[in-house]
Amino acid sequence: MILQIEDVHTYYGSSYILQGLSLEIEAGEIVCLIGRNGAGKTTTMRTIIGLTPPKRGHVKFKGEEITNKSPFRIVRMGMGYVPEDRRIFPLLSVRDNLEIAKRKIIHKGVSGWAIDKIYDFFPRLKDLENHLGTEMSGGEQQMLAMARALMGNPELLLVDEPTQGLAPIIVQSFVDLIRRLREEMSILLVEQNVLFAFSVSVRGYVIDKGKILYQGGINDLRENEDVQKRYLAV
């Protein structure tokens, strides 16, 4: 098991967001976490990576407790994070954005990510190598955010709303990308675009009001009309 979240309770100030949430990911899986706006998806990601630690519960990565570890230590253990707002450096070039995130491999069994490999996965970034972040489209910025996370050589990648605001043709390119990454690492994907999430994931969790209300294989989620109407607005 690469990730285990056990009975996690997370607050923003006095707001009670995650209310006893539990989920797990096996090595090599792509798992989606889906739900409406405000359901607690992004808070789940921030809790895992250490940006918003839980008040109670446990987060374990590769069997090791990381609940109270700093985000940079969690990243060094082999976890990557692509936040919803991308957070690329707007006044740095594409190449500089990538170089600044480069990290040596410190865990076994993971092939290394270098600039050349990134450009093989993202040919468009090679074309834009010397462009600043401010000179890129939304889809290009999302590619850069993904690529920058990969430069940290993660075993587990957390990806928050990668298709938000992107044109359908760009979304399709991210379907292909996520499927290719499945051979390299495990992925936890947060998405409101249910069709996208279902097309790349093997299992899914449905979250609402900070609680996991349903979990199962993707085919089960596709066929469960009650879950889709009640919690996914599909």
pLDDT at residue 180, as a whole number? 85
Mean pLDDT, each 10-residue run in order, the chain (234 residues) = 96 94 95 91 96 96 95 93 87 92 62 85 91 89 91 93 81 84 91 88 94 92 80 62
- What is the CATH code of the structural domain delimited by 3-232? 3.40.50.300
Which helix (H) or strand (E) element contains residue 11? strand 3-12
Q: pLDDT value at position 107?
A: 53
pLDDT for res 233: 63
Give which of 36, 32, 45, 40 is closest to 220, Cα–Cα.
Answer: 32
Digit-coded pLDDT (tens) for 88-146: 888 999 999 998 888 766 555 555 888 999 998 888 999 999 999 889 888 889 889 98
Element (H, E) at 16: strand 15-25
61: which strand partners? 3, 64
Is residue 160 within 8 Å of residue 41, measured between CB atoms?
yes
Q: How many residues does the chain have?
A: 234
Per-residue model confidence (pLDDT) at position 105 = 60
What is the per-residue pLDDT for 111? 57
CA 118, 132, 82, 221 torsion-angle sign: negative
- The secondary structure element, H or E, covering residue 8 is strand 3-12
Vertex 111 angle, CA 97 and 162, to 5°: 50
Question: How big is the CA angle at 68 (ends 63 and 73), to the nearest 5 degrees?
Answer: 75
- Round to whole Å and give the CA distance between 178 and 22: 24
**Euclidean distance between the first and final Cα of the chain, in Å?**
31
DSSP string, 54-95: -SEEEEEETTEE-TT--HHHHHHHTEEEE-TT----TTSBHH
